[in-house]
Structure 1
Amino acid sequence: MEKSYSASYAAAGVDITAGYRAVELMRQHVARTLTPGCIGGLGGFGGLFELDCTNMPHPVLISGTDGVGTKLKLAFMMDKHDTVGIDCVAMCVNDVICAGAKPLIFLDYIACGKNVPEKIAQLVAGVAEGCVQAGCALVGGETAEMPGFYPEDEYDLAGFTVGAVDKSRLLDNSTMTPGDVLIALPSSGVHSNGFSLVRRVFDLEHDPEVLTRYTEELGRPLGEALLEPTRIYVKPVLALMEQVTVKGVSHITGGGFYENIPRSLKEGCCARIRKADVRTPALFDLIAKVGNIPERDMFNTFNMGVGMVLTVAAADADKALAVLHENGEPGAWKLGEIAAGSGVELC
């Protein structure tokens, strides 16, 4: 590697040696994520993982992929790059647990205008932290320097995860019935969806300084609240599934309540939620007020303080809350109930 250098490629804007330097800087972060099953290390053409099927006679692999979206624009404006990697992991692993799977491995993809090794290492540090929170291993990735395609100080970040579950334990909503209880897991804020609207509401293109201003309603600068990383729900949800039958799980992302909750509902069932039972943080009230956004649009765009919705039998609701409270989700609460119908009823 030390002898690998192309003056011609460097003249075109691609510094191969910067890529090697970035890999060296990220090794310590990747090491934090290694789990049993990991084989080899960084530098190969593929990430290796040995699947332990001891308790999975019929293993099913479940994959998920996503990016961070235009939330990255805020990271550029604030020159803060160590948290968006958590968002990237969260958007993938929170999806696969909706089927009951445990995320096993993660890979990231970073495309940038100029490879600044220290910045790339910050991004990977965030990805590694997300993997630690999710209990999965960062087994590989790719950094692509693309001058002329991205501005020098910008990048894109995406990821991919694979999880596994025994076929007998795949989530099944066939027993969902009116009277079942919806349980909410609180979000940490906007998470990673709706930022095109957020950027327009606060006119960030013309007034980026608004991000650094202290906001009375939030008790901190607006940018700090907006850049708060997406919560990762893997460990508490999987702990719950060990003790309680979970009939449905919805990760509340783009499309808010109206698009995501119905994805976990049995045909003939609807989610009935009282608006008074939605614990909406001040950040969403501020977005609605400044942007003059109708209530329905807010619930159809943002998570409104609810990062994930779980459905359990009424008889299991109190136990489910206790398990969640004991496993890192002290803010979990009863959000509503299943009723006959379809979609979401906000009343």
Structure 2
Amino acid sequence: MTIYKKAGVDVLSTDKLIKKIVPLCSKTNRPGKMGEIGSFGGMFDLKMCKYKDPVLVTSSDGIGTKTILGISENRLDGLGFDLVGMCLNDIICHGAEPLFFLDYFASSKIERSSFIKIIKSIAAACKENNCLLIGGETAEMPGVYKGKDFDLAGFCVGAVERKKMLPRMDRIKPGDIVLGLPSSGFHSNGYSLIRNVIKEQNISLNDKPPFKSNDKSLAVTLLKPTKLYYNLIVQIIKFINVKGIAHITGGGIIGNLPRIVPNKLSVKLDLKNFPKDNLFSWFKNISKLNDHEMLSTFNCGIGMALIISKKDLVKTQRFFKNKKEKFFIIGQIIKSIKNEARCIIN
């Protein structure tokens, strides 16, 4: 392998690293687990999950240029949570529970410390959400990536009983309420714009955030991991008749909420009920973005949106109070108005 190593790909070194992450992957466990890391493919025994009429739900995603910010600030521990969150949060919009996860890590040269930190955080995120880390791919690609740069991608598979699949578009009607669950920050979207604005305005990432915050630096705030919602959502859908769930990612609230609403209906947002989030207010101010631009780019403090019937609101309020979790009534479902947007800002 000496000639290949001279070309920039150290197969033996990478193989040794893979052996070091096997114990991390083994810490993730759930019914359906088969075999160990190292086979040509990861295997999962769906029968062990005792489904009656399962539908598989899949999602594949990355975390975009948030990796560049993590690399520059040497803060990588949360990126695995971002990666798992972007995929798991998607499949739970269909009522699915996560079964297993695979990752893809590519760089110019696999750097041991960074690689272990990433895989460790992926494994921790999977374990917290009862999801197997079943395998993945590690690639050295000199010429494609340069220096310390790397890229991440994730792939998740979940399952849901056919009769419990979401959204239930045939049940969504005018007067239904749209609830918002708070995000932990920007999550993993909009970072090319965020980085560009920060660079243009010469804003220091090492200083305290220029708004009210307990974080020791702006870098800490911007690199907060994506919030994973599975453990909360799985309780909500057992207690409340949820008609639809939207993960607020790329495209923001305006781009994602209409995806779970019938074409003949629209969403009317009430901005005064949104969380008073210092981070998003600050960024809107320095970037000079208007409300529509913010809402079509970022989550604006809302990481997940749920549609429920108005008659279930009191029950829902009681649930969140008992769980000591926050939620916001951010809008309602209305009849579509000709030539009007599917998501109307009030």
Shorter-chain TM-score tier: over 0.9
* Counterparts of residues 252-271 of structure 1 (less than 5 Å): 252-271=248-267
**In structure 2, C-alpha distance between the alignment counterparts of 1:41 and 1:322, rounded to whole Å:** 43
Whether the 8 Å CA contact 1:22–1:118 is kept in 2: the answer is: no
TM-score by length of 1: 0.93
Name the structure 2 match of 1:191.
187
1:233 equivalent to 2:237? Answer no
**Is the counterpart of residue 297 in structure 1 residue 293 in structure 2?**
yes
Counterpart of 2:180, as a letter, is A
| Cα distance in 2, alignment partners of residues 272 and 188 from structure 1 | 24
Residue identity in the other structure for 1:267: N
Aligned to 2:247: 251
How far is the alpha carbon of 1:130 from its aligned partner?
1.8
1:44 lines up with 2:43 in the alignment? no
Q: Give the Å deviation of 1:20.
A: 2.2
Amino acid corresponding to residue 176 of structure 1 in structure 2: I
Amino acid at match of 1:16: V
Is the contact made by 1:135 and 1:235 (CA closer than 8 Å) also made in structure 2? no
Decide whether the 8 Å contact of 1:202 with 1:291 is kept in 2. Answer: no
CA distance in 1, matches of 2:322, 2:79: 27
Residue equivalent to 1:68: 63
Q: Quick one: distance in 1 between partners of 2:240 and 2:58?
A: 24
1:86 to 65, 81, 87: 81
Q: Say if 2:307 is the partner of 1:306.
A: no
Question: What is the alpha-carbon distance in structure 1 between the residues aligned to residue 92 and residue 320 of structure 2?
Answer: 15
**For the Cα contact (< 8 Å) 2:274–2:328, is it kept in 1?**
no
Q: 1:16 aligns with which of 11, 14, 23?
A: 11
In structure 2, give the amino acid aligned to 1:346.
Answer: I
User: Which residue does 1:214 correspond to in 2?
Assistant: 208
* 1:55 Cα offset (Å): 4.9
Q: How does 1:85-124 map to 2 (within 5 A)?
A: 85-124=80-119
Using the TM superposition, name which of 230-239 and 18-27 deviates more. 18-27
SS state of the match for residue 57, structure 1?
coil
Counterpart residue number, 1:149: 144
1:284 is the counterpart of 2:276: no
Q: Which digits, 9 at most, give the CA deviation of each residue in 1:106-150, with x for residues without a partner? A: 000000111112211111111112212322110001110111211
The AA in structure 1 aligned to 2:35 is G
Cα shift readout 1:235-259 (whole Å, capped 9, x = no counterpart): 2112111122211111101111111
> Given residue 205 of structure 2, which amino acid in structure 1 is its aligned partner?
L
| Unaligned 5+ runs, structure 2 | none
Which residue identity lines up with residue 144 of structure 2 in the other structure?
Answer: F
Q: Deviations over 1:199-218 (max 9, x none)?
A: 111117x95x7111112404
1:332 maps to amino acid: F
- Match for 2:268: what amino acid? R
Structure 1 residue identity aligned to 2:174 = P
How many residue pairs get aligned? The number is 339
Match of 1:345 in 2: 344
- Please state whether the residue corresponding to 2:99 is helix, strand or coil: strand
Q: The residue matched to 1:202 in structure 2 has which SS?
A: helix
Query: Partners of 2:2 and 2:107 in 1: how far apart?
Result: 20
Question: Which amino acid counterpart does residue 26 of structure 2 have in structure 1?
Answer: A
For 1:330 and 1:132, the matched residues in 2 are separated by 22
1:48 offset after TM fit, Å? 1.1
Please give the secondary structure, in 2, of the residue aligned with 1:271: strand
Give me the identity figure in percent.
35
Distance in 1 between the 2:322 and 2:129 partners?
Answer: 17
Please list the CA deviations of residues 248-288 of structure 1 after superposition, one character each: whole Å capped at 9, or x if unmatched. 11110111111100001123222222110011411111111
| Cα distance in 2 for residues equivalent to 1:100 and 1:33 | 22
The root-mean-square deviation of aligned C-alpha atoms, in Å, is: 1.8
Alignment of 1:334 with 2:329, yes or no, is yes
Give the structure 2 partner of residue 3 of structure 1. Answer: none
Deviations 1:286-333 (A, max 9, x none): 111111112210111000000000011112123234334555x71123
